[in-house]
């Protein structure tokens, strides 16, 4: 959320497949259509054709259409190229996982963005795992942010469970990109509290580690920070939660009631644009 | 004999060879303690440990490159690309390195590696792409796609022992869906043979993967009408067992080719061309191909079901060649 807050409406975003709906929602996507998409319903933005991770393209969202990790970085760099080419001040922000930073695609994308000084911000959602593998087993050097140095661009590590810290870091990098100073790489350290997939048997993480990270849940932390700053009081927080719960519940029931895609959505003659 | 599922048979093949040959090792993502995607490496880490069962970063091109290099210095690596959808990420290493090395070194170098991957519509619907035809097009690669537990093990063992790069396509639907008697000891299934799974004199259905099972079920149904369908399992795509195929067509004079991959440019095109070239005058009807339509594979189940070729399509194709 911190990665996408405060952007211009016409900045291009490419969200990691983990948690993209919040980014799309902030862009004005219809929550029930997003849920519908996760359920494969006809009302989803891809009408059931793509994985549930995509969003409304017309809102300057780069669509997620393939299962392979890493290619979205190159596409985001390409969007930044297009924006630089047209001489606009728009930027692209792309988020991705720590595991994905081991793909060659990551390195090629960052290098290209750096040599061409493209207006793109790379934000690594470093949750320390790629499925069952801890970063210490697969991520040489231990730091994604440090990889920026090799490409001569700023690399910054932030507490990814501190929404305001993430927003501050990304905001500064976006400012640089908008000002023509080129790309930055931000590593936001976080944790995946759930399984990699719904039925993930787990077993590769210690319970103590889970406990430790549960205590650092970014949502109560943001709530605490806002309260301490006197921005909200207990009543306001409760009303926000109630509103959010009601909105999500309504979106879920609307999505559940939505029709399944049928032959009309199949579009067998739509592989090529006309 | 033991009763094994397709995936258990695959793992048994890898395990037996790792026990037999210390040069065999296995690498892939989450193949260690987790036991691999869909249980495809279950128990191997526990038996062989981290030196021989290696968890890798998400670095497909380097993984396949590492397998090629290790094979060049005399090891027998098995590298797993979790899903066939990711094969494009390591295409250079497969097509430019692995495939070329033996021929281009005047036969001096060889690359005894197995690249295993999962394809097809499966229980959880992810990564269904069937790209096997791309690899059958490239000389220097073996391409196999077993359809039974017995062949899953026998071909895995043969692939590990083979001196060539073998692309080993495992169908996700079959993983847990078929269970069969699998011999326990040392045996291999040839990597260059097609298998007649059911004999018949009226029409040949040449199929791969899950389609073999669908063809068998169609054949069973049509037997009640007195129609005898011969089902040929094209377990080896490259090199293709052209003799078994043409022998069958010469007997039945009618051919249907069925696979889950896209029909246009799919492997069925090669099968149909082979038959057209070598036994055109034996045919009593035009060849019919069954494959997926020319669009990306949709994800949502209702769309997927409309999209993918199924038993009904095989049946319709058989009736069409019989009516012609
Ligand atoms: C090229 C490629 N290889 C492997 C996979 C299988 N896969 C899906 S998610 C995942 C883990 C990704 O880890 P990370 O990038 O850290 O993202 P996270 O899931 O932790 O958010 C893997 C290996 C894939 N989708 N694409
Ligand atoms: Mg991760």
pTM across the whole model = 0.97
Q: Which of A102, A139, A261 sits opposite B302 (nearest CB)?
A: A261
Ligand 1: which of A95, A123, A131, A190 to mutate, judged by most atoms within 8 Å of the beta carbon?
A: A131
Q: Check: CB of residue B168 under 8 Å from CB of residue B151.
A: no
DSSP three-state, residue B74: coil
CA distance B59 to chain A (A): 5
Q: Check: CB of residue A84 under 8 Å from CB of residue A118.
A: yes
Pocket residues for ligand 1 (CB within 6 Å)? A 18, 67-70, 97-100, 125, 127, 129-131, 192; B 29, 58, 60, 82, 86, 89
A187-233 tens-digit pLDDT: 999 999 999 998 898 899 999 999 999 999 999 999 999 999 999 99
Where in chain A are the domains? Answer: 12-194+204-273
- Mean pLDDT for B17-41 is 97
Q: Which residues pair with B205 in a beta bridge?
A: B231, B256
Q: Which residue of A has its CA nearest to B31?
A: A132
pLDDT of residue B222: 98
Residue B36 alpha carbon to ligand 1 centre in Å: 14
Q: Which residue of B has its CA nearest to A43?
A: B300
Is A263 at the interface with chain B, CB within 8 A?
A: yes
pLDDT band at B299 (very low <50, low <70, confident <90, very high): very high
Is A68 at the interface with chain B, CB within 8 A?
A: yes
Query: Which ipTM was obtained for this model?
Result: 0.96
How far apart are the C-alpha atoms of A198 and B179, rounded to whole Å?
Answer: 26
Least confident of A230-239, B98-107, B232-241: A230-239
Contacts of B61 in chain A (CB under 8 A): 104
A3 Cβ neighbours under 8 A, 6+ residues apart: A23, A93, A95, A121, A123, A166, A167, A170, A186, A188
Interchain contact, B302 vs A100, CB within 8 Å: no
Interchain contact, B58 vs A69, CB within 8 Å: yes
CA distance B281 to chain A (A): 35
Per-10-residue mean pLDDT, chain A, length 274: 94 96 96 96 95 93 93 98 98 98 98 98 98 97 97 98 97 98 98 92 93 96 94 93 97 98 95 95
Structure tokens at A126: 């470093």
Ligand 1 atom closest to the CA of A130, numbered from 1? 13
pLDDT band at B125 (very low <50, low <70, confident <90, very high): confident
DSSP letters for B264-297 = TTSHHHHHHHHHHHHHGGG-SS--EEEEE-SSPP
pLDDT of residue A34: 97
Task: Name all domains of chain B by residue range, CATH numbers in brackets.
Answer: 2-182 (3.40.50.970), 195-323 (3.40.50.920)
- Mean pLDDT for B242-262 is 98
Burial B272-286 (b: 16+ CB within 10 A, else e): bebbeeebeeebeee
pLDDT of residue A142: 94
pLDDT of residue A160: 98
Contacts of B59 in chain A (CB under 8 A): 102-104
B39-97 tens-digit pLDDT: 999 999 999 999 999 999 999 999 999 999 999 999 999 999 999 999 999 999 999 99
CATH number of A12-194+204-273: 3.40.50.970
Nearest-5° angle of CA A254, CA A260, CA A262?
A: 145
pLDDT of residue B287: 98
Q: Helix, strand, coil: what percent of chain A each, to 5?
A: 45, 10, 45
How far apart are the C-alpha atoms of A21 and A212, rounded to whole Å?
Answer: 26
B143-194 tens-digit pLDDT: 999 999 999 999 999 999 999 999 999 999 999 999 999 999 999 999 999 9
pLDDT of residue A201: 87
């Amino acid at each position: 959320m911190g990665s996408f807050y405060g952007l211009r409406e016409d900045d291009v975003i490419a969200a990691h497949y983990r948690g993209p709906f919040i980014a799309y929602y902030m862009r004005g996507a219809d929550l029930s259509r997003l849920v519908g998409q996760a359920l494969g319903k006809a009302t989803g933005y891809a009408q059931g054709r793509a994985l549930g991770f995509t969003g409304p393209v017309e809102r300057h969202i780069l669509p997620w259409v393939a299962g392979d990790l890493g290619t979205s970085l190159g596409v985001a760099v390409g969007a930044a190229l297009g924006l630089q080419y047209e001489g606009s001040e728009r930027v692209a922000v792309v988020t991705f996982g720590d595991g994905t930073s081991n793909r060659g695609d990551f390195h090629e994308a960052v290098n290209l963005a750096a040599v061409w000084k493209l207006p793109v911000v790379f934000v690594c959602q470093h949750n320390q795992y790629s499925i069952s593998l801890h970063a210490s087993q697969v991520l040489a050097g231990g730091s994604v942010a440090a990889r920026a140095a090799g490409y001569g661009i700023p690399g910054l590590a932030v507490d990814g469970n501190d929404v305001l810290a993430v927003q501050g870091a990304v905001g500064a990098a976006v400012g640089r990109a908008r000002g023509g100073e080129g790309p930055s790489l931000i590593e936001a350290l976080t944790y995946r509290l759930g399984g990699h997939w719904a039925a993930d048997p787990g077993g590769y993480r210690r319970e103590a580690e889970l406990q430790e990270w549960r205590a650092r849940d970014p949502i109560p932390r943001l709530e605490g920070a806002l309260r301490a700053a006197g921005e909200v009081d207990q009543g306001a927080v409760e009303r926000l939660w109630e509103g959010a719960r009601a909105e999500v519940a309504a979106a879920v029931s609307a999505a559940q009631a939505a029709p399944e895609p049928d032959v009309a959505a199949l579009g067998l003659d739509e592989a090529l644009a006309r | 004999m033991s009763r094994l599922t397709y995936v258990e048979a695959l793992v048994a093949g890898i395990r037996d060879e790792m026990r037999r040959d210390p040069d065999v090792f296995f690498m892939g993502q989450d193949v260690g303690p987790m036991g691999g995607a869909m249980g495809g490496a279950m128990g191997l880490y526990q038996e062989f440990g981290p030196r021989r069962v290696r968890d890798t970063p998400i670095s497909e091109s380097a993984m396949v490159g590492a397998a090629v290099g290790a094979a060049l210095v005399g090891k027998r690596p098995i590298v797993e690309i979790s899903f066939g959808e990711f094969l494009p990420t390591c295409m250079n290493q497969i097509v430019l390195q692995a495939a070329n090395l033996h021929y281009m070194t005047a036969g001096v170098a060889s690359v005894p590696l197995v690249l295993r991957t999962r394809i097809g519509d499966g229980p959880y619907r992810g990564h269904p792409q069937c790209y096997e035809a791309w690899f059958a097009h490239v000389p220097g690669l073996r391409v196999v796609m077993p359809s039974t537990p017995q062949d899953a093990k026998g071909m895995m063992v043969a692939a590990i022992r083979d001196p060539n790069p073998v692309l080993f396509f495992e169908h996700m639907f079959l993983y847990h869906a078929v269970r069969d008697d699998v011999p326990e000891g040392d045996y291999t299934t040839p990597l260059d043979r097609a298998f007649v799974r059911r004999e018949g004199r009226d029409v040949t259905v040449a199929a791969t993967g899950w389609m073999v099972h669908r063809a068998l079920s169609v054949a069973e149904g049509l037997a009640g009408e007195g129609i005898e369908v011969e089902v040929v399992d094209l377990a080896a795509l490259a090199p293709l067992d052209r003799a078994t195929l043409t022998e069958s067509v010469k007997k039945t004079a009618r051919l249907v080719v069925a696979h889950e991959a896209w029909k246009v440019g799919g492997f069925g095109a090669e099968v149909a061309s082979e038959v057209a070239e070598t036994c055109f005058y034996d045919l009593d009807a035009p060849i019919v191909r069954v494959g997926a339509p020319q669009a990306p594979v949709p994800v949502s189940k209702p769309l997927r079901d409309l999209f993918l070729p199924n038993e009904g399509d095989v049946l319709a194709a058989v009736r069409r060649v019989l009516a012609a």
